[in-house]
Structure 1
């Protein structure tokens, strides 16, 4: 693959020329130039514009699918060559926000370890703000965060979609309702994550768009972990807002009821964060593995 292919894949994955430019650390005109050169080489249009949005053409979708397969072949080749020279040795320090560290990343690390058994791990957890600070202080190599804010000294890449949902305990007086209105969430007692939590930040920003502010909610308590909130719900006549990824077992065992709120959806992205500057080989290897992991 040459650089034009890499530029094309960045635009195809973002469907946005300016975001691709930011990701690649080049100017937007440079991105446009590379795409035009590739289209000229292939003698076909790869993108089409509809209003302010960019879409892949049929040729673009085919090109992206093929280049993605080629990139995977390169990764497989690098892996096999690395095995010949025993070059996959070393360590990596990862910091993950609470939701990610408890419910997502352990299985990823286990699969990664089975492929690269000579790479040692240190996994720290805390809220998203704390993990970003550890990253900036060079205490960890990668941070996996769930907030929406950005630091100019840190690069970010989405790796998984998530939704924050309203839940209540099965013994709660609200369990039979199944549906609540926007006005209800300002009256019903609620338990939330602590300040600095990425979950709380996303909740705050989304509710503010509906002119609902945290100080107006009937907040009983802030707790420092998702597990604490789930245990709290057992004897609490109220609601909580939790990652859908964190309550799969409780929903299956019918310990928690998910409530629908009309006209409100709290969507977010889990993101990989790393410091600006040259990337170390092993953190880059894990980052690439995570971006292609089949959750």
Structure 2
């Protein structure tokens, strides 16, 4: 159906009057009447009934009115989405970060970005690295920040180095390892570590490093939250390999003790990832440029 004819029909339905509709639309009354008749012929149904000077919708007319409203609502949504692509000062950015980046790095970055672009809606999720990759690949996100080596990420993604993390071994005060000068990789394998779930960047790097030494990780306990892991260790449940960023306060207060690792240097990369073929809004491009001021905005 002709969209302009549907607009005329909606105005007639709204005002329930041919003459008033023609005046608001700056059309002649015969032109409005002809458009309604044309729609009826196209639908093979009567859409309106005259009751004196008023126009009343038939059941078919009400059905058409409902769908026409939905169509023009979608048209407005489309116009708004296209405007957001043109306008750097509005729109929405969908971003996900692993727990370390999302909790300990992003807040200060977001605060500075918001001071420059207060009208931009930031939709931020905290997920493990594998979930972020999955959501990037299925078009759900604009960007992601994940932990792990860039060489281990899907080749179909654009990957840009963001910063480097450091993983350390922590125990509670009084733990038997507190008297050790260093702990070897072999001592981490069997039922001593409280660890993150499979798919997290920390867990993946730890398992790869142990596997290189023919050691299989057998966790004492698996949790999905860094804060829960810290509390388990503080309570004396076990030891943990965690991001240094997540335990600075506990190390300073003495609630946790760092034990050096003898033959492992765990420094995973935090990488900024996106689909190379995803069309980004101007706001999303501005966020990228905010993080990497000397880089070209991604396509």
Question: Could you say what secondary structure the match of 1:266 adopts?
Answer: coil
Q: In the alignment, what sits opposite 1:167? A: 170
Q: In the alignment, what sits opposite 1:180? A: 183
Measured at CA, do residues 239 and 87 of structure 1 come closer, stay the same or move farther in structure 2, by a change above 3 Å? closer
CA apart distance, 1:278: 5.2
CA apart distance, 1:151: 1.6
Q: In the alignment, what sits opposite 2:234? A: 234
| TM-score, normalised with respect to structure 2 | 0.64
Q: In the alignment, what sits opposite 2:198? A: 195
CA distance in 1, matches of 2:88, 2:289: 17
Do the aligned residues in 1 keep the contact of 2:91 with 2:283 (CA within 8 Å)?
Answer: yes
CA apart distance, 1:279: 4.5
Do the aligned residues in 1 keep the contact of 2:157 with 2:274 (CA within 8 Å)?
Answer: yes
Do the aligned residues in 2 keep the contact of 1:272 with 1:287 (CA within 8 Å)?
Answer: no
Do the aligned residues in 1 keep the contact of 2:170 with 2:241 (CA within 8 Å)?
Answer: yes
CA apart distance, 1:169: 1.4
Q: Which structure 2 residues correspond to residues 199-278 of structure 1 after superposition, within 5 A?
A: 199-214=202-217, 217=218, 219-277=219-277
Measured at CA, do residues 156 and 178 of structure 1 come closer, stay the same or move farther in structure 2, by a change above 3 Å? same
| TM-score, normalised with respect to structure 1 | 0.65
CA distance in 2, matches of 1:167, 1:151: 31
Do the aligned residues in 1 keep the contact of 2:193 with 2:220 (CA within 8 Å)?
Answer: yes
In the alignment of these two chains, the number of paired residues is: 206
CA distance in 2, matches of 1:233, 1:284: 41
CA distance in 2, matches of 1:171, 1:88: 54
CA deviations 1:132-188 (Å, max 9, x no partner) are 111122221111111332223321111101111111112423234352223322356
Do the aligned residues in 1 keep the contact of 2:88 with 2:286 (CA within 8 Å)?
Answer: no
Do the aligned residues in 2 keep the contact of 1:172 with 1:235 (CA within 8 Å)?
Answer: no
Please tell me the root mean square deviation across aligned C-alpha atoms, in Å.
Answer: 2.1
Question: Could you say what secondary structure the match of 1:94 adopts?
Answer: strand
Do the aligned residues in 2 keep the contact of 1:174 with 1:238 (CA within 8 Å)?
Answer: no
Question: Could you say what secondary structure the match of 1:252 adopts?
Answer: helix
CA apart distance, 1:107: 1.4
CA distance in 2, matches of 1:125, 1:276: 22
Greater mean alpha carbon deviation, residues 169-178 or residues 268-277 = 169-178
Q: In the alignment, what sits opposite 1:63? A: none
CA distance in 1, matches of 2:185, 2:158: 35
Q: In the alignment, what sits opposite 1:127? A: 128
Question: Could you say what secondary structure the match of 1:267 adopts?
Answer: coil
CA distance in 2, matches of 1:141, 1:267: 26
* Structure 2 portions without partners, runs of 5+: 1-85, 295-299
Larger fraction in strand: 1
Do the aligned residues in 1 keep the contact of 2:185 with 2:210 (CA within 8 Å)?
Answer: no
CA apart distance, 1:292: 5.0
Do the aligned residues in 1 keep the contact of 2:142 with 2:278 (CA within 8 Å)?
Answer: no
CA distance in 2, matches of 1:275, 1:106: 24
Q: In the alignment, what sits opposite 1:152? A: 155
CA distance in 2, matches of 1:253, 1:178: 21
CA distance in 2, matches of 1:151, 1:184: 32
